[in-house]
Amino acid sequence: MDNLQRLESNPDRSYRIIAFGSSNTESTWSSNGRHNWVEWLNMNVRHHIGRHVCVINQGIGGETTNNLLERMDRDVLSFQPSAVIITIGGNDAIQSLPLERYADNLRRICTRSRHGDAEPILQTYYCPMYHQRADGFKSVFESYMEVIRTIAREMGVLLVDQYDRFEPFYRKQPEQYAKLMLDSMHVNHLGNLIMGMHISRAFQLPELQLPQDIMQETLQLKEQMDFCCN
């Protein structure tokens, strides 16, 4: 993220980064008191960039790009953010929103962010456990993830491609991959931690400080994921 250095060099101003999405973003009771990827990113940003920068979680479970557009003024632009991390598409795929509509909605979200002087950042999902979903869901879901990549290229938007890292692990070691998942469509605290590691690296931040009680398991799973990607 190119403007993090600019934020660091202006400690007399407050800056906000909005995490904008659905249940993949929202903090819920299902986390059992563990951090999700937004909280990991917030801690890393505040520790290494400064306490004048914060990441605000504006995820709401069950939402689509239509919903994000409807609440964008209230939940994003009203905060006058410097950046908006957009992670959306799972519910669009489940509800069979036409790909053309989905792509147009993503463009509108990015454009409205820029009109509000906020840098849009697009992020793909982790990989669902397709064997627990209906036949054909893999090809449908991947087509939505590819739209995210296309819009990022088209609009010159930073892309954090979580799916590119998670999918090979699921495909090659599904039993190990299940240790990262809460259910077929959501990561658990370990999956969230690895997402936090990936997005921190995309923002050129130092590595996360891992909790001692889950450090060994996290590093083993991350090593297996990296091996599957090579």
Mean pLDDT over each residue of the chain, to the nearest integer:
95
CATH 3.10.20.30 fits 4-229, yes or no: no
Q: What digits encode the pLDDT tens for the residues 152-184? A: 999 999 999 999 999 999 999 999 999 999 999
Q: Give the pLDDT score at 55.
A: 98
What is the C-alpha to C-alpha distance for residues 176 and 165, in angstroms, rounded to an integer?
Answer: 14
Which amino acid is residue 211, in one-letter code? P
Share of the chain above pLDDT 70, in %: 98
What is the C-alpha to C-alpha distance for residues 28 and 34, in angstroms, rounded to an integer?
Answer: 10
Q: Give the pLDDT score at 70.
A: 98
Structural domain boundaries in the chain:
4-229
What is the C-alpha to C-alpha distance for residues 205 and 4, in angstroms, rounded to an integer?
Answer: 9
Q: What digits encode the pLDDT tens for the residues 50-87? A: 999 999 999 999 999 999 999 999 999 999 999 999 99
Residue 9 φ/ψ, nearest 5 degrees: -85, 0
Structural contact between residues 122 and 92, judged by C-beta atoms closer than 8 angstroms: no
Q: Give the pLDDT score at 29.
A: 79
